[in-house]
């Protein structure tokens, strides 16, 4: 465990003394930890973990485990600080989306359950039409939720009523799901709209397509990796444009690189989006 602590010290370029000072843990505690005489109490270890922005599990050398947020449904590895950051972003996006779009079934498993139950009710012809209709609307809420998740809770997603109107015009949905009376009742309520010709995921038009949370995470990882290779100086001092890279210049270079990577993401999106020429 102390090895992980030492690894963190060298990675972040801090001394044990500094950690002791800022966490209120005595250097004596750290020393006896190093000598294997004594392991700091969990509260103290937590302070150290917080200091480095890693999880307690990570500090204790336990294998990382994925967790899923019960609210936003995001699955991530809490032992990676960048995953925690990504979750905060995703969680904030989820909160805004709930305000904008109403109830969202973010938990994929729960969503599938609700969908299956309600699909059954909606096809039960012994029940009154109104009840079947309500159940089908809940099925559509589930599909809508999956569509929002697939779009990283983008506020550019169409609202629920529009989504339903689009689905009611979507041949693949109509064929598989609905009896005539049910379809008519839903059309009376929501109308129909074009914009989705297949599937259940709404594709946000290109012009408003932005860099997703996942893209941001990928970019950050690429950036960190490239900058680390640069500062490793394995092949001599890092240089850019023929100039040796000072820390300030490296920072500028990082900013430029970040912009370039973001642009590249958007270009690739354009290139690989099969819907780009369809309207």
Binding site for Zn ion (CB under 5 A): 69, 71-72, 91
In whole angstroms, the minimum distance from the beta carbon of 104 to Zn ion comes to 12
Axis-axis angle for helices 42-52, 16-23 (nearest 10) = 110
CA distance 236 to 60: 36
In whole angstroms, the minimum distance from the beta carbon of 6 to Zn ion comes to 32
In whole angstroms, the minimum distance from the beta carbon of 172 to Zn ion comes to 31
Hey, what are 63's tokens?
């294998």
Q: Which is nearer to Zn ion, 81 or 171 (CB)?
A: 81
In whole angstroms, the minimum distance from the beta carbon of 83 to Zn ion comes to 12
Q: Which is nearer to Zn ion, 69 or 223 (CB)?
A: 69
Q: Which is nearer to Zn ion, 71 or 124 (CB)?
A: 71
Q: Which residue is nearest to Zn ion (CB)?
A: 69
Contact 270, 276 (CB under 8 A): yes
Question: What are the residues whose beta carbons fall under 8 Å from the beta carbon of 220, sequence distance 6 or more?
Answer: 82
CA distance 266 to 270: 6
Helix, strand, coil percentages (3-state) for the chain, rounded to 5, are 65, 5, 35
Q: Which is nearer to Zn ion, 7 or 92 (CB)?
A: 92
Q: Which is nearer to Zn ion, 71 or 243 (CB)?
A: 71
Contact 135, 162 (CB under 8 A): no
In whole angstroms, the minimum distance from the beta carbon of 84 to Zn ion comes to 11
CA distance 113 to 119: 10
């Amino acid at each position: 465990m102390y090895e992980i602590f030492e690894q963190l010290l060298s990675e972040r370029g801090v001394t044990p003394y500094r950690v002791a000072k800022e966490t209120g843990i005595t250097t004596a505690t750290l020393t006896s930890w190093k000598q294997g005489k004594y392991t700091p109490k969990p509260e103290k270890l937590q302070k150290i973990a917080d200091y480095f922005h890693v999880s307690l599990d990570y500090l204790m050398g336990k294998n990382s485990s994925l967790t899923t947020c019960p609210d936003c449904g995001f699955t991530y590895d809490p032992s990676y600080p960048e995953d925690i950051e990504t979750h905060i972003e995703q969680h904030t996006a989820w909160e805004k989306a709930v305000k904008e779009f109403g109830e969202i079934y973010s938990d994929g498993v729960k969503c599938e359950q609700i969908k299956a139950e309600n699909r059954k009710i909606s096809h039960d012809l012994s029940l009154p039409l109104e009840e079947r209709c309500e159940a089908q609307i809940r099925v559509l809420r589930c599909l809508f939720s999956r569509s929002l998740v697939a779009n990283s809770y983008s506020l550019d997603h169409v609202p629920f009523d529009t989504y339903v109107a689009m689905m009611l015009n979507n041949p693949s949905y109509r064929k598989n799901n609905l009896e005539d009376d049910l379809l008519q009742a839903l059309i009376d309520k929501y109308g129909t709209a074009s914009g989705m010709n297949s599937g259940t995921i709404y594709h946000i038009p290109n012009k408003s397509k932005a860099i997703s949370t996942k893209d941001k995470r990928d970019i950050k990882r690429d950036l960190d990796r490239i900058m680390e290779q640069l500062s490793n100086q394995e092949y001599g001092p890092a240089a850019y444009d023929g100039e040796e890279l000072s820390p300030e210049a490296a920072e500028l270079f990082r900013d430029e690189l970040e912009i370039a990577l973001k642009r590249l993401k958007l270009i690739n999106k354009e290139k690989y989006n099969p819907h780009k020429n369809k309207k």
